[in-house]
Amino acid sequence: MSIESHDIAHDDHHDHKPSGFLDRWLYTTNHKDIGTLYLVFSLLMFFIGGSMAMVIRAELFMPGLQLVEPEFFNQMTTMHALIMVFGAVMPAWVGFANWMIPMMIGAPDMALPRMNNWSFWILPFAFTMLLSTLFMDSGGPAAGWTLYPPLSLQGGQSFAFVVFAVHMMGISSIMGSINVIATILNMRAPGMTLLKMPLFVWTWLITAFLLIAVMPVLAGAVTMLLTDHFFGTSFFNAAGGGDPVMFQHIFWFFGHPEVYIMILPAFGVVSEIIPTFSRKPLFGYTAMVYATASIAFLSFIVWAHHMFTVGMPLTGELFFMYATMLIAVPTGVKVFNWVSTMWQGSMTFETPMLFAIGFVVLFTIGGLSGLMLAMAAADLQYHDTYFVVAHFHYVLVPGSVFALMAGAYYWLPKWTGHMYSEKWGKIHFWVSAISVNILFFPQHYLGLAGMPRRIPDYSTQFADFNMISSIGGFIFGASQLIFVGVIVHCVYKSRQVATGRVWEGAKGLEWTLSSPPPYHSFNTPPVIDSTTIAHVEEAH
């Protein structure tokens, strides 16, 4: 058994990877292996969720129903969102956390390695169960990822599988978050004070607290749906004295922090990449930390801006409008700081930097349309239209997903020890950046012109922009195959050996290790030296 080898004192220059496939991957407690598992899993989910998006865009290519029945269309929109949110973006960020946090803070591994293994390995079961509902008699969930009752309660027996799958994802996220917090608070190398931590570590620390706070709320909400559906309770059934709007309040109390859970680690990654390729320290490090914390705090008091049309009292609408507008302030601080980091730098534009710049530009567009949506009086028109679809896809796709890709390109040489193909990386970026705008920008017009979201067919006045959007969607979808090609080439074929530092301007503990890093790194805490880390505490 390879277990024994873990107990032996290590020489950092030798790997002690378990030899058998199961030993290596199923039983692993190694943060790097678990990080890889998370990343491969999320890439798979990204393609499954993406293929559902292709079905959606293909049906919306022209007016009239050509490919699927409306019921199946609704299953596609619902599943696409559930898979992308819980299966692609969130696990991808946990994958990054696993790989990078220990290496960034000088720790040998995550604080709770066995729990780490468990929190990954329940995910494939959760998503197999979720996806299996598509093949059941009563079909997959079709009420939207928001699962609003009473509609979600009209689903058949398969709904129980959906609820159980959500519970499992929640358990996985909570365990992952406990691990992140325990690791960051207890396992930093001596001298790595909180305000010296890389911003990615900071954003993940805050994200982990958000997750622990809101995943149980989601679990409670879906459990009440479960008992309403199968055990005759009336939490959300007005006829039984319940309140269907209460579900929306509970869901969005989870849901709004959830969207920041998907974007805060993206802020962190971009805050690592821009300084590296600007060859200049991150501007306003402390302000960035406070801005992240402020966004996290505000995320708890803005939830009802998703519900301006349910018939809230005027004072409630005003409160949620003002609170939502406030989010623009710390978010603006972040954008200004990134621009100031680039300012007077000595920039080069390798693929990670391209994706990071793409992120800043396109995320800002999504942020600005978010500010428009905050205006309650205008939101009575925007709400539930394609304008909203355009908005949240701008912050999630060229937002979170571009940051994930930036991070993947940035650390891929570190993880594999090989350089990826810069040429194909750049092609991937440009095709993605252009097509993602062709895909989502026209959706602003569709929404303003009056096209509701979540409809399988539309009036002919919406035909042109839907066709443009679909074409952009097909190109964007296909261009992600380039990403897979680049990764496979980098892992298996690339002959170009990566140095330890990889990038000329890279700073931080992870770059002091070899590429690829030893299987067990930092068994002896590194000495923190202001020349090797990116952020030196500011003197006040």
Partner 1 sequence: MKKQNTFIVAAAVTAAVIAAFWLLLAAPAYTGNAINMTQGVTSQSVLSYQLHMIILWICVVIGIIVFSAMFYSIVMHRKSKGHEAAQFTHSTKAEIVWTIIPIIILIVMAVPATTALVNMEVAPETEMTIKITGFQWRWKYQYVEDEIEFISSLDTGSNFARRLASGTDPSSVENYLLNVDKPLVLPANTKIKFLITADDVIHSWWVPALGWKRDAIPGFINEAWTEVMEPGTYRGQCAELCGKDHGFMPIVLNVLPKAEYQAWVNQQRQGMAHEQAEIERLWARDELMDLGQEVYAAQCATCHQADGQGLAPAFPALAGSPVANGPVDENIAVILHGREGTAMQAWGRMLSDSDIAAALTYTRNAFGNETGDVVQPQTIARIKNG
Q: Does residue 260 have an active-site annotation? A: yes
350 is catalytic: no
User: Among 40, 54, 189, 325, which residue sits at the site for partner 1 (rule: CB under 8 A)?
Assistant: 325
- Any residues with CB less than 8 A from the CB of 488 and at least 6 apart, and which? none
Q: Is 430 in the site for partner 1 (CB under 8 A)?
A: yes
3 state DSSP class of 458: coil
Among 365, 412, 498, 502, indicate the residue that binds partner 1 (CB under 8 A): 365
Residue from 31, 80, 167, 280 binding partner 1 (CB under 8 A): 280
Which residues inside 218-277 make contact with partner 1, applying CB under 8 A?
Answer: 238-239, 242-245
Is 271 part of the annotated catalytic residue set? yes
Half-sphere exposure of 534 (CA within 13 A, CB side): 34
Please tell me which residue in 167, 229, 305, 414 is annotated as part of the active site.
305
**470 is known as an active-site residue:** no
Give me the least distance between CB of 248 and partner 1, in Å please.
9
- C-beta closer to partner 1: residue 46 or 462: 462
Helix axis angle, 70-82 relative to 31-59, nearest 10°?
150
Q: Catalytic residue, from 152, 278, 331, 521: name it.
A: 331
Are 518 and 15 contacting, i.e. CB atoms less than 8 angstroms apart? yes
- Angle between helix axes 113-132 and 90-105 (nearest 10 degrees) is 170
Q: Is 335 in the site for partner 1 (CB under 8 A)?
A: yes
Exposure pattern of 194-222 as b/e (b: 16+ CB <10 Å)?
eebbbbbbbbbbbbbbbbbbbbebbbebb
Subset of residues 165 to 224 that bind partner 1, contact rule: CB under 8 A: none
537 binds partner 1 (CB under 8 A): no
Tell me how far, at minimum, the Cβ of 231 lies from partner 1, in Å: 14
Q: Which residues contact 126 (CB under 8 A, 6 or more apart)?
A: 165, 166, 168, 169, 172
Nearest Cα residue to 177 out of 105, 128, 110: 110
527: tokens are 């000495």
Q: Please provide residue 497's backbone torsions phi and psi, each rounded to the nearest 5 degrees.
A: -75, 135
* Catalytic residue, candidates 32, 167, 188, 306: 306
The catalytically annotated residue of 42, 78, 173, 521 is: 173
Q: Give the separation between CA 287 and CA 295, rounded to whole angstroms.
A: 12
Residue 322 engages partner 1 in binding (rule: CB under 8 A) = yes
Is residue 532 a contact residue for partner 1 (CB under 8 A)? no
**By the rule CB under 8 A, 332 interacts with partner 1:** yes
Residues in the chain: 540
Three-state DSSP string of 141-156: CCCCCCCCCCHHHHCC
Among 46, 159, 359, 458, binds partner 1 (CB under 8 A): 458
Q: Are 337 and 360 in contact (CB under 8 A)?
A: no
Q: Scanning the structure block, which residue is given the tokens 């909203």?
A: 388
453 is catalytic: yes
Q: Is 172 a catalytic residue?
A: yes
For 352, the token pair is 């990670």
- Calpha distance 140→161 (Å, rounded): 9
Q: Does 293 bind partner 1 (CB under 8 A)?
A: no
Of positions 3, 26, 195, 329, contacts partner 1 by CB under 8 A: 329
The answer to whether 124 contacts partner 1 (rule: CB under 8 A) is: no
Per CB under 8 A, 317 contacts partner 1: yes
* Distance, CA of 232 to CA of 327 (rounded, Å): 40
Looking at the Cβ atoms of 18 and 366, the one nearer to partner 1 is 366
Stretch that binds partner 1, among 109-117, 192-200, 341-349, 484-492 (CB under 8 A): 341-349
Shortest approach of partner 1 to residue 287 CB, angstroms?
5
Nearer to partner 1, 126 or 298 (CB): 298
Q: Which stretch binds partner 1 (CB under 8 A): 30-38, 295-303, 346-354, 494-502?
A: 346-354
Catalytic residues: 80, 109, 145, 172-173, 256, 258, 260, 271, 305-306, 331, 334, 453
